[in-house]
Amino acid sequence: MWHNFEIFAIISVVAWILAIGTSLSDKMGKIANLTAILGTLSLAVFIVLLWTNLHRPPLRTLGETRLWYSFFLAISGYVIFKRWKIKLMLMYSLGMAILFLLLNYLNPDIHSKTLMPALQSIWFVPHVIVYMIAYALLGLSALFGLLGLYVIRKDNLKEDFVLKTDNIVYVGFGFLTLGLIFGALWAKEAWGHYWTWDPKETWAFLTWAVYLIYIHFRIKSNLSHKKVFLILLLAFVVLLICWFGINYLPAAQNSVHVYSS
Amino acid sequence: MQNTKEKKSLWVLPWRYSESFLIAFALLLASLGLEFITGTKAPKISWPANVISLVLLANISLLLYLLSKKRTFFKWFYSVPASIAGIILFVVPSLSMALVPQRQTDSLFFLFDVTSSWTYTIGVTFFLIILGTVTIKRITKLSKRNIGFFLNHFGLWLCIAAAHLGAGDIQKLNMYLEEGKTIWYGVENGNSTEELNFAIKLRDFSIEEYPAKIAFVDNKTGEIINQNNKPLMIDPNKGLQFNYKDYDFKIEKLLMSSAPVLNRFEPVLGMGATQSTMITKSYNGMVDTFWISSPSILYHQVMYSIDSSTIMLMTEPEAKRFLSEITVYEKAGAVYDTIIEVNKPIKISGWKIYQTSYDETMGRWSTKSILELVKDPWLPSVYLGFFLLIAGTFYLIWTGKRKEEV
C-alpha cells in the first residue's frame, strides 16, 4: 500500500498549499475551504486504504503515526480556522501537516511490520488518537506562544489572544490527560500494572506536568505574558522529547514504547 | 493586566511565588539530606500502615483548611503558588527517572532508584497535601461551576494517593506451567512458593504466527535490499506475480506448516514445521522452479540465489497470538476450561492472571507457559480516581477556560 503513498501525499500537499495560498485572500475563502478539506480527505482515504491493506490500524511505526499527526493537524487547524478565523493557524497546521508527509517521503520509517501481541488491544486506537489530537493542539498552542512573543515586541498584545491560547492549551491538555489514562488502563491489561515509570510514561508525565504548571501559572497570575509564552514553549520542547527525542535517551533503551527492533 | 501590587518583602504574608519556590527547594534539600544522613530508602508501607497514612493525609489537608479560617498563613496551602510548588516537587524526582536509567542500587537512590527515594516520597506527600487542601477548599463551596474542578482535583488526588499507598499491598506471583501437569502454587520473587486456592492444568500452549514475508537480501551485507527507500519485502499470496531486475516471479504454492522432503516441501503438522513457498522464476524464456522457507528450530532455512549479488528468502514469521489453553480447578469445586493470552488476562478468585512468557528456545513448540498472577486490592480506588478524572477532563475540554479566571 505504501507504494501508493506518493499519489495521495501529492494530492494532499498540493491541495494544502493551495489552501494556504488562497486563505490569504478574503475573496478566495471558498477555495481555501475546499482545498483544505480535499487535502485532508485524500490523506484520510490513504489511511483507510492502508488500514484495510495492513489488516490493523496503521498506528505502530513512526511513519504511520506521522500520517495521523498530519491528518489531525489538518483537522484541528481547519476547525480552529473556522471558529476563530485565524488564517495563520490554518497555514501553520497545514504547513506542519505537509512537513510530516514530506518527512515520510524523504525518510520513510516504513515497515509493513505486523503488530506484536502486546499492542493488539482495544485501547490502541483511542490511546494513540487522543495523543495525536493533544499533540496537534499543543503544537498549535506553541505557535500561539511564538506568535505571542512576536506580538509583544510589537506591543499590541490583546487579552483575547492570551485567552485563546489558554483555551487551546486547556483542550489539548484535556486530550493529553485522556491519553495518559487510556495508556494506563491498557498497560494494566497488557503488562499487569497501570504505571511502571517506563521511560515513555515518565516523559509523558513530565509533559503533562509542565502543561499543568502552565495552566496554574495562568490563574489570576500577574506573571508577564512573555514569561507565560516562554513556559508554553518549554512545555512543547518537553513534549517533543517525549514524542521522539526519547528514542535517543539512555534511559529509554528498555522502554516498551521503543517499537523498532 | 497591569501589575499594580507593590513589591513586598520576602516572607511577609501572603506568601507568593518566591516563598513557595524556596519552600519547595528547602524540602528538596531536606529530602536529599535525609537520604545522605540515613543512607536508606524511604520506608515501603503496606496494610494497615497505608490506610492509616491515607486517613492522616486527608486529615492534614482538612486541618490546614480549617486553620486557614483562623490564620491567614494557612491560606498559603491552597494558593496557586503552593500548587505549582507541589507540582514541581513531584516533577523534580521524575526528571531524574526520565534522564537516568533506573536500577537496583545501595546508594544515590534519588538518581538510580527514584521511586524508593526520600526525594520522591516527600515530593509526592507534599503534592498530595496541597492537592487535598485545594480540593477541600473548593468542595465547601459546591456549585455547578465547581463540579469540573472537584472531579479533576479529587480524581487526581485519589489515583495518586491510592496508587502510591497501595503499592505495598500488590502481590505478584509467577506460575510455571507444563503441558499435562497440574500446578496449585505460585512462585514469589523466584524462590518462595505460595499455595493458591485453585489449580491450573496447561492443556496446550501455542503461538499463532503471521505469514512470513519474502525478502530480497544483499549477498554481501546480509541486509534486506532497499528499493525506493523501502525494504524489498513481499507478502506472499498464492498466484502472486512480481518482478525484480529482469526476473519475473510467480508464487505457485504457499505452505504454512511444512517440512523439507528431498528438494521440495510437504505439508506436515509436527514439531519444527515451517512456512515455505514454491516459486517459479522466468528470465529470457528460461523457467526455474525453486522452494524457499522460513528458519525453524529443526530445519535449515532454504534460500535461493537469484544472481551473484541477491538472495531470496522467507523471513522469520512474527507472533500474532501467544495463548495457553488451561483447565482451572477451584477449591470450591468449580472446574472449567479457558484461554489466557497476551492482552486478555483472566480473573480467578481475586487474582488477575496474565500470559507473560514461555520456553523461548522452543518457540511455538514450547510445552511450557509462564503466567503472572497479580493481586492489587487498591486497584478499584485508583480506577475510581481515573474515571473521575476522565469525567473532569471532558468537562475541561467542553468549557475551556472561563474569562473570569484570567
Q: Does B352 touch chain A (CB under 8 A)?
A: yes
What number of residues does chain B have?
Answer: 406
Which residues does residue B217 pair with via DSSP β-bridges, in sequence order? B224, B311
Q: In terms of domains, do A188 and A240 share one?
A: yes
Task: Examine the domain organization and report whether A162 and A213 are in the same domain.
Answer: yes
Partner A, chain B 241-280, Cβ-Cβ below 8 Å: none
Would the CB atoms of A210 and B97 count as touching at under 8 Å? no
Out of A78-82, A95-99, A108-112, B236-240, least confident range? A108-112
- Among chain A residues, the shortest Cα distance to B86 is held by A213
Select from B344, B404, B406 the residue whose CB has the most chain A CBs within 10 Å, as the one to mutate to test that interface: B406
Q: With CB atoms and an 8 Å threshold, state whether A163 touches B320.
A: no
Q: B342, A118: Cβ pair inside 8 Å?
A: yes
B374 at the A interface (CB within 8 A)? yes
A23 belongs to a structural domain: yes
User: At residue A111, does pLDDT exceed 50?
Assistant: no
Which SS3 state, helix, strand or coil, does residue B212 take?
Answer: coil
Q: Is A16 on the interface with B (CB under 8 A)?
A: no
- Nearest-Cα residue of chain A relative to residue B374: A192
**Closest residue of chain A to B174, computed from CA coordinates:** A192
- Domain final residue, candidates A62, A84, A108: A108
Decide if B103 touches A, using CB distance below 8 A.
no
List chain A residues with CB under 8 Å of B228: 3
Q: Which of A108, A128, A163 lies at the terminal end of a domain, its last residue?
A: A108
Residues near B227 by beta carbon (within 8 Å), at least 6 away in sequence:
none
A129, A157: one domain: yes
CATH no. for residue A32?
1.20.120
Could you read off the pLDDT of B252-268 as tens digits, one per residue? 999 989 999 988 999 99
Pair (A140, A19) in one structural domain: no
* ipTM over the 0.90 cut-off: no
User: Same domain for A99 and A122?
Assistant: no
- Secondary element (H or E) of residue B67: helix B49-70
Could you give the percent of chain B with pLDDT greater than 90?
60
pLDDT category at B3 given cuts 50, 70, 90 is very low
Which of A202, A217, A226 should one mutate to test binding to chain B, selecting the residue with the greatest count of B CBs within 10 A? A202
Mean pLDDT score of chain A, rounded to an integer? 84
Do A236 and A120 fall into the same domain?
yes
Looking at the domain assignment, is residue A234 inside a domain?
yes
C-alpha cell read off for A10: 501529492
Residue A91 lies in a domain: yes
- Same structural domain, A66 and A152: no
Q: What is the mean pLDDT of chain B?
A: 90
Q: Is residue A260 a part of any domain in this protein?
A: no
Which of B99, B101, B401 has its CB closest to that of A253?
Answer: B101
Which cell goes with A248? Answer: 535517543
Can you tell me the distance from the alpha carbon of B296 to that of B364, in angstroms, rounded to the nearest whole number? 10
Q: What is the pTM of this model?
A: 0.81
pLDDT 10s digits, A168-195: 899 889 989 999 999 999 999 888 899 9
The residue in chain B having the minimum alpha-carbon distance to the alpha carbon of residue A168 is B400
Among A69, A92, A108, which residue terminates a domain? Answer: A108
Contact A215, A173 (CB under 8 A): yes
Q: Which domain holds residue A223?
A: 115-252
pLDDT band of A257, cuts 50, 70, 90: low
**A89: nearest Cα among A38, A40, A136:** A136
pLDDT for position B55: 97
> What pLDDT score was predicted for residue B406?
46
Q: Is the pLDDT assigned to residue B136 strictly greater than 60? A: yes
Same domain, A102 and A123: no
Question: Looking at per-residue confidence, does A209 or B43 come out higher?
Answer: A209
Contact across the interface for B98 and A170, Cβ inside 8 Å: no
Number of H helices, E strands in chain B: 7, 19
Residue A169, in any domain of the structure: yes
- A159 to chain B: nearest residue by CA? B1
| A171: chain B residues, CB-CB within 8 Å | 396-397, 400
Q: What per-residue confidence (pLDDT) applies to A130?
A: 79
pLDDT at site A81: 79
Query: With contacts defined as CB-CB under 8 Å, which chain A residues touch B376?
Result: 193
Determine, for residues A251 and B98 on separate chains, whether the beta-carbon distance falls below 8 Å: yes
Shared domain check, A234 and A121: yes
Residues A98 and A133 in one domain: no
Q: Does A259 touch chain B (CB under 8 A)?
A: no
Shared domain for A77 and A191, answered yes or no, is no
Q: What does each C-alpha distance from A208 to A185, B81, B114, B236 come to in angstroms?
A: 17, 18, 19, 44
Q: What is the DSSP letter of A253?
A: T
Residue A261 lies in a domain: no
B39 conformational bin, left if phi > 0, alpha if psi -120 to 50, beta if neither: left
Helix (H) or strand (E) holding A44: helix A29-54
A96: closest CA of chain B, how far (Å): 23
C-alpha distance from B181 to closest chain A C-alpha (Å): 25
Are A211 and A231 a contacting pair, CB within 8 Å?
A: no
A249–B98 CB contact, under 8 Å? yes
Of A136-145, A186-195, B136-145, least confident by mean pLDDT is B136-145
In Å, how far are A177, A209, B108, B179 from B92, measured between CA atoms?
20, 11, 15, 49
What is the length of chain A?
A: 261
Q: Is residue A257 part of a domain?
A: no
Q: Is B402 an interface residue toward A (CB < 8 Å)? A: no
| Residue A77 falls inside a structural domain | yes
List helix spans (H) across B100-222: 109-112, 118-139, 144-166
Interaxial angle between packed helices A159-191 and A124-154, expressed in degrees from 0 to 180 and rounded to the nearest 10 = 160
pLDDT category of residue A107 using cuts at 50, 70 and 90: low
CB spacing of B319 vs A110 below 8 angstroms: no
Whether residue A31 is found in the same domain as residue A74: yes
Domain count, chain A: 2
